[in-house]
Amino acid sequence: MKKTITILLIIICILFSNIYVYADDENEILDEPIIEEQEKKEIETAASSDTKPTINSRRYAIYDRLSGRCLYGKDENKQTAMASTTKIMTSIIVVENCKLTDVVTITAKAAGTGGSRLGLKKDDKITVNDLLYGLMLRSGNDAAVALAIHTAGSVEEFAKLMNQKAKLLGLKNTNFVTPHGLDNENHYTTAYELAKLTDYALKNETIAKIVKTKSTSITINNSPMQINNTNELLGNLEGVYGVKTGFTNNAGRCLVTSVKRDDMDLIIVVLGADTRKDRAKDSMKLIEYAYKRFRVVNVEEIIQKEFSLWRQINESRIYINKAAGNLELELGKITIPKTATDNTPSIEINTSTYLEAPVEKGQRIGTLIVKVGDEILEEITINVAKEVKKRGIGEYFNIIAKIYSGKIKIVDLGNNRYNLQ
C-alpha cells in the first residue's frame, strides 16, 4: 500500500512538472479590459509628477526607435528568459525565407507541441500567412513548430537561422533554442536586445501589419477560424500598434509594446511580471512616464549649427605648413539625426591645430562628440573637404610680392608659427 501511494505521488509530481514546463496562459481571452479606466487615469496622473514609476516587472526597457537608445530601464542588459516574445524572431526568419502563400501540412511533432496552441492537428493544411497570424495573435506554439519545420526542416536547424540573424543584428546576449520560447536554460535575451530585435521586425511591412491586428479570421483545411490578439494594450491605449505577449513559469509575464504619439516612436519591454495585470500596468506606467519626461530633439540640426559656428572661429586657426591654399572642413556621416531625450545634447569639438601640406581630401583631422548628459550619443569625424596642395617655388615668389605690396600680411600665431591673411 505504501509503495502504491509513493508511485502515485511520483506520477502526480511528474504531471505537475510537465504543467510547470508548459505553463502558458496566452490562450486566455479576457471579456473585459484588464486595466480599468480609473486605473488608467491614476497612471496618467502619476506620470505627470517627477517621481519615477513603481514597476513590478523584474527587467524592463524604454527603447527609442529614432536613435536606437535605451532611454530608461532596469537590468535591461541582464540575460533572461523571454517566453513567447521569442516569436518575434520566429516571424522574422519565416517572412524573410518563405512565401506567404505556401501551404503547410502539419506534422505530428508540430501538432503535439504543448503550451499555448492554435489547435492544429496532424495533416491539417494551412498557409504560411495564416500560421503567422496564429503565431503572433494567438501565440500558437504548434504554429511556431510548424513554421520552423517548413522553413528549415527541423526545430534545430531553424534555431541556427535564428541565432545567425541575432548575430547579424549585433545581439550579443541573445540565444535561441526553440521557435516558441518554452523554458530552456540556453534560451535567453535581454530587455534591450529584445527591443532592438522588435525594432528590426517592425520595419517589415508584413510583420507590422500582423502585430497591429486585433482580430482576424484564418483558414485551416478550408474552414474559417476566428482568432484574437493576446496583447491587452492593443486598441486600449493611445498610440499602441503591437507587438507580442509571453508567459512561462520561468520567464514570468512578458510584454513587448510598440507605441507612437506624434513624432516619438517607442518600444516598451517588460519581462518577469507576476500577473497579466502587472505587465499591462507596468507597460502603461512606462509609456506614460516616457511621454511626460522625454521629447524628440533634432540632433542633426544642433550639430550643423554648432559646427558652423565653430568653423567661423576656428577653421582659419588651423595652421598648415607650406600650404598653397585654404583649409575647408566638413563633417562625416551623422547616424543619429533625431533622438528622444530629457536633456539637450551638448557638442564637443576636438581637432588638430597643425598640419603639413599637402593635405588630402577626406583626411580626418578631428572629431565632433555629441553627448546627452554623460552618455556619448555619437562621434562624428571632421574631415578635409578639398585637397590643400603644397606650395611650389612660384607660390613663394608670389607671396613675397603680395607682402611687399601690402595685399597680404603675416600674422603671428605664437610658438614660432605664422599665417597669411
- Reading the block at residue 382, the C-alpha cell is 571632421
Do residue 288 and residue 312 come from a single domain?
A: no
39-43: which pairs have CB atoms within 8 A and are 24 or more residues apart? 39/281, 40/237, 40/284, 43/281, 43/284, 43/285, 43/288
Do residue 286 and residue 310 come from a single domain?
A: no
In a domain, 26, yes or no: no
* Helix, coil or strand: residue 73: strand
- Reading the block at residue 226, the C-alpha cell is 476566428
* Helix, coil or strand: residue 421: coil
Does the annotation mark 87 as catalytic? yes
Q: How far is CA 347 from the centre of its chain?
A: 25
- Find all residues with CB under 8 Å of 183, minimum gap 6, and list them: 21, 81, 83, 248, 249, 250, 251
Do residue 138 and residue 239 come from a single domain?
A: yes
In a domain, 1, yes or no: no
Catalytic residue, chosen from 57, 67, 84, 258, is 84
Distance CA 139, CA 116 (A): 6
CA triple 355-391-398, angle to 5 deg = 130
Per-residue pLDDT tens digits of the chain, which is 421 residues long:
555 555 555 544 444 443 334 445 444 444 456 777 787 777 877 777 778 999 999 999 999 999 999 999 999 999 999 999 999 999 999 999 999 999 999 999 999 999 999 999 999 999 999 999 999 999 999 999 999 999 999 999 999 999 999 999 999 999 999 999 999 999 999 999 999 999 999 999 999 999 999 999 999 999 999 999 999 999 999 999 999 999 999 999 999 999 999 999 999 999 999 999 999 999 999 999 999 999 999 999 999 999 999 999 999 899 999 888 899 999 999 999 999 999 999 999 999 999 999 999 999 999 999 999 999 999 999 999 999 999 865 565 566 666 667 666 665 555 555 555 5
Cβ atoms of 95 and 150 within 8 Å: the answer is no
Q: What is the CATH number of the domain that holds 116?
A: 3.40.710.10
Do residue 117 and residue 138 come from a single domain?
A: yes
Catalytic residue, chosen from 57, 91, 116, 139, is 139
Q: What are the tens digits of pLDDT across the range 135-173?
A: 999 999 999 999 999 999 999 999 999 999 999 999 999
Amino acid at 264: M
Does the annotation mark 277 as catalytic? no
In a domain, 417, yes or no: no
Cβ density class 330-360: b for 16+ within 10 Å, e for less: ebeeeebebbbbeeebebebebeeebebbbe
Do residue 193 and residue 319 come from a single domain?
A: no
Q: What is the CATH number of the domain that holds 373?
A: 2.60.410.10
Do residue 307 and residue 203 come from a single domain?
A: no
Distance CA 208, CA 132 (A): 12
Do residue 278 and residue 333 come from a single domain?
A: no
Please tell me the total count of domains within the chain: 2
Domain end point (choices 240, 258, 293): 293
Tell me how long the chain is: 421
Do residue 179 and residue 233 come from a single domain?
A: yes
In a domain, 16, yes or no: no
Does the annotation mark 116 as catalytic? no
Do residue 247 and residue 357 come from a single domain?
A: no
Do residue 283 and residue 309 come from a single domain?
A: no
Domain of 310 in residue numbering reads as 298-390
Q: What are the tens digits of pLDDT across the range 302-323?
A: 999 999 999 999 998 999 998 8
Catalytic residue, chosen from 57, 67, 87, 196, is 87
